[in-house]
């Protein structure tokens, strides 16, 4: 089963074409592939996209630690860290 969701100018596809990632991101205007993000081996705070909601843990302390660990990552598109922070954490 393939899942698509359009939001915020992007199209999210699950499962990803990469075996270890959750989502692929495409530009909604051009349909061009941007990146893949989200490890399938880990849970997330809250999945805004919705396909992997079963892996939501809702633990604020884990969320705080994740955001602190990744504070120096690239926080703008097209980087996977941006999509992880905005849509999974």
How confident is the model over 62-73, as pLDDT tens digits? 999 999 999 888
Q: What is the pLDDT of residue 33?
A: 98
Q: What is the pLDDT of residue 73?
A: 85
Instruction: For residue 80, count other CB atoms closer than 10 A to its CB.
Output: 19
* The two three-digit tokens of residue 41, written as one number: 């081996």
**Residue 40, domain extent:** 3-87
How many structural domains compose the chain? Answer: 1
| Calpha distance 55→42 (Å, rounded) | 8
Kindly give the parts of the chain with pLDDT less than 70: none
| Calpha distance 35→20 (Å, rounded) | 13
Q: What is the pLDDT of residue 49?
A: 97
Q: What is the pLDDT of residue 1?
A: 85
Q: What is the pLDDT of residue 66?
A: 94
Q: What is the pLDDT of residue 7?
A: 95
């Amino acid at each position: 089963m393939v899942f698509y969701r359009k939001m915020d100018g992007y199209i999210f596809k699950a499962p990803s074409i990469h075996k270890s990632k959750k989502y692929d991101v495409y530009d909604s205007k051009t349909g061009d592939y941007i990146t893949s993000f989200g490890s399938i081996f880990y849970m997330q705070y809250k999945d805004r996209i919705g396909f992997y909601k079963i892996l939501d843990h809702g633990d604020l302390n884990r969320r705080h630690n994740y955001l602190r660990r990744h504070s120096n990552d690239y926080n703008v598109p097209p980087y996977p860290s941006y999509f992880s922070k905005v849509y999974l954490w």
